[in-house]
Amino acid sequence: MKQRRRIYYSKEQCDLMWERYEKGWSLSAIARLFERNSSSVHTVFARTGGIRPPERKRPQTSLSLAEREEISRGLVAELSIRQIAAQLCRPPSTVSREISRNGGRSAYRAVTADEEAWRRAERPKPCKLVTNEALCNIVETLLMQHWSPQQITGWLKRKLPNHEQYHVSHETIYKTLFIQARGALKKELQAYLRSQRTIRRARSSTLKKKLGGIVGAVSIRERPAEVEDRAIPGHWEGDLIAGTRTSYVATLVERHSRYVNLVKVDGRFSDDVVPALIRQAKEIPSQLYKTLTWDRGTEMATHAKFTMATDIQVYFCDPKSPWQRGSNENTNRLLRQYLPKGTDLSVHSQAELDEIARQLNTRPRKTLDYETPAERFAECVASTD
């Protein structure tokens, strides 16, 4: 069997790949530029975990190849170190060190010295997670609790403001996960990331919603102004997330605190969803449940029954406008870490859904200044007592 020839890409080709990759091009689209398969370009990105390696640059204060050639010519002419330094407008100590570290007067060669200087400069600063084992253990523990790197970073700064040795950027955590050569965080921890990708990739998604006519629907444009600024608690956003075998879970998010509630439902029809939402609403203090904003799915066709039973007004988003329920949409993406697409959601009991909600509610949020939704919601409950 004839062995396939290994494919090599030039620096210019690799630069073009990275440029397209950072703009969101797929691997297949990039590979088509070179008339190759996606697997051949995947290795270029996988080498550094989908993170573009920084371009190496020589500091302006370093000796250039031209200056090293002047040193070499000066040595051949048997000039003193001070004379050579004067010609280069450099300190004599700089010239002396350059010669001694590259073979001395008799063996100095400009090209070889330049190549060695470039090689010696390749010593990256040790990763903070490598040098600080205690910090690395904290990061590992929180990753295994499904915290995102950004949540970990914000939480550490909030809880340990005066201990800089425990402050680490989310970029450092991502790079240490994806660039395994750093040797701090195990590759298996990538499975705890929300995306579960093995290389860094900008995430894009499309949301497809089935719309239906709803009798007596009150538009989101008629919602009280106090809902918009999130200053007053008690205003919720809701939706259904779908699984296989016609299984669904209702998701509810409180706008002020981003507190999450999950409700097990038997189906997507209004007769299945509305009674379950009524039961759940009665478990929340009435002062903390004033309005509910939903999309235009037919599961809320009997919204009047919900309002009559709970005294909670339901508002509906405009067609094809999921961004009008931004908190709920973002939370649904977080929930897919626990309730993945393509799985049967009916296997989860209400107790299991409550545990998933508890985990989400005890994770710090950047939008809350790295407080947790549970902490923020508890303050709301205390203020109503």
pLDDT value at 377 more than 50: yes
Q: What is the pLDDT of residue 4?
A: 55
* Domain residue ranges in the chain: 11-46, 65-120, 128-192, 220-384
What percent of the chain has a predicted confidence (pLDDT) above 70? Answer: 91
- 370: which 2 tokens? 């790295």
Q: What is the CATH number of domain 220-384?
A: 3.30.420.10
Give the pLDDT band (50/70/90) at residue 201: low
How many other CB atoms sit within 10 Å of the CB of residue 38? 13
Q: What is the pLDDT of residue 194?
A: 75
pLDDT tens for residues 114-167? 988 888 876 556 778 888 889 999 999 999 998 989 999 999 999 999 999 999
Q: What is the pLDDT of residue 123?
A: 58
Q: What is the pLDDT of residue 183?
A: 63
pLDDT tens for residues 47-85? 777 777 777 777 888 899 999 999 999 999 999 999 999
pLDDT value at 181 more than 60: no
Q: What is the pLDDT of residue 6?
A: 64
Rounded alpha-carbon distances, angstroms, from residue 170 to 21, 142, 157, 182: 21, 13, 12, 15
What percent of the chain has a predicted confidence (pLDDT) above 90? Answer: 53
Q: What is the pLDDT of residue 120?
A: 80
| Helix ranges (DSSP H) in 121-224 | 128-131, 133-143, 149-159, 170-178
- Over residues 177-204, mean pLDDT: 71
Burial pattern 297-306, b for ≥16 Cβ within 10 A else e, equals bebbbbbebb
Q: What is the pLDDT of residue 258?
A: 95
pLDDT, averaged across the chain: 86
pLDDT tens for residues 222-268? 898 889 889 899 999 999 999 998 899 999 999 999 999 999 999 98
How many other CB atoms sit within 10 Å of the CB of residue 294? 27
Position 153, amino acid: T
- Over residues 173-196, mean pLDDT: 76
How far does CA 154 lie from the centroid of its chain? 13
Q: Residue 236 carries which DSSP code?
A: E
Q: What is the pTM of this model?
A: 0.58
Q: What is the pLDDT of residue 37?
A: 82
Contact 62/113 with Cβ under 8 angstroms?
A: no
